[in-house]
Amino acid sequence: MIDFHTHILPGIDDGSASAAESADMAKMLVGQGAEGAVLTPHFYAYRNDLESFLENRSAAVNVLKERLQRENIRLKLYLGGEILYFDELWRIDKLESLCISGTDCIMIEMPFSPWSDSVVEGIERIANRRFTPILAHVDRYLRYRGVRERLAELAGCGALMQINADCFTKLIMRRHGIALAKNGLFNIFGSDCHNTGDRAPNLDSARAYIEKHLGKNELDKVTVRSKRILENAEIIYR
């Protein structure tokens, strides 16, 4: 399995604070059956200069790779980011530099509020530039009016939906995860891990729940889809 949403890069955002913590998180992922992790540090255009972000990300990746090699931790790393949405995001030059390495997929953190027509239009414009938007942790937006309908609308323009493992481990969220899956809105799986404490990798318990309540076939489809995305192969949405 690929963990498609992680903050294990050391010292770059609100995730791992050190190379040692990153290594511990990587060990946890491997122990939970992950063979790879997509590195998705936060990028805030209002706060970060793109070139500076890319330089800091590159430096952090080098530190992480060296640490994993030293400790013989076998976890494949795929470089990406979690890009905070704003209405002019689609206009950014070098938007491809924020895509997951080797793909046209870009992970976007959506507004924590009802999504206006301009938000939907902004994602559609990104898709029209021949990028594939991945909407990060869609389960976290469900409290806002109209978001469920907007998700279906954006799926229609080719956006992929990433669900956090928490959605299948927290009792209050499980019914939402099941509903998203049954409506074809569970495309990619990720832990959104930030540390080894209260936001540690938690793929194993979520996988067990998914397999029991949605079936092994659903879990296998998510796994295969994740690998096809990283291979830049044709995406099978459902």
Tell me the per-residue pLDDT of 168-191, one tens digit each, with 9 for 90 and over. 999 889 999 999 999 999 999 999
Residue-level pLDDT at 113: 97
Nearest to 203 by CA among 36, 42, 77, 15: 36
Q: What is the pLDDT of residue 191?
A: 97
Compute the distance between CA of residue 100 and CA of residue 83 in angstroms, rounded to an integer. Answer: 11
Position 237 pLDDT exceeds 80 = no
Average pLDDT over residues 85-97: 95
CATH hierarchy code of domain 2-230: 3.20.20.140
pLDDT, one tens digit per residue, over 113-137 is 999 999 999 999 999 999 999 999 9
**Of 234 and 116, more confident:** 116
Instruction: Report the alpha-carbon distance of residue 31 to residue 164 in Å, rounded.
Output: 18
Q: Compare 235 and 167 and report the one with higher pLDDT.
A: 167
Cβ neighbours around 84 below 10 Å, total: 18
Q: What is the pLDDT of residues 26-84, one digit of tens each?
A: 999 999 999 999 999 999 999 989 999 999 999 999 999 999 999 999 999 999 999 99
- Whole-number pLDDT of residue 180: 95
Residue 236: its pLDDT value, please?
73
pLDDT of residue 233: 81
Residues 6+ apart with CB under 8 A from 10: 16, 17, 18, 19, 21, 22, 60, 63, 64
* Of 143, 161, 144, nearest in space to 152 by CA: 161
User: In terms of DSSP bridges, do strands 82-84 and 76-79 run parallel, antiparallel, or are they unpaired?
Assistant: unpaired
pLDDT of 53 reads 97
pLDDT value for 232: 84
Percent of the chain with pLDDT over 90: 94
Domain ranges of the chain: 2-230
Q: Which residues of 173-191 are buried (b: 16+ CB within 10 A; e: fewer)?
A: bbebbbebbeeebbbbbbb
Q: What is the mean pLDDT of the chain?
A: 95
Q: Is the Cβ–Cβ distance between 199 and 175 less than 8 Å?
A: no
Three-state helix/strand/coil letters over 36-60:
EEEECCEECCCCCCHHHHHHHHHHH
pLDDT per residue as tens digits for the range 129-160: 999 999 999 999 999 999 999 999 999 999 99
pLDDT at residue 52 in the model: 96
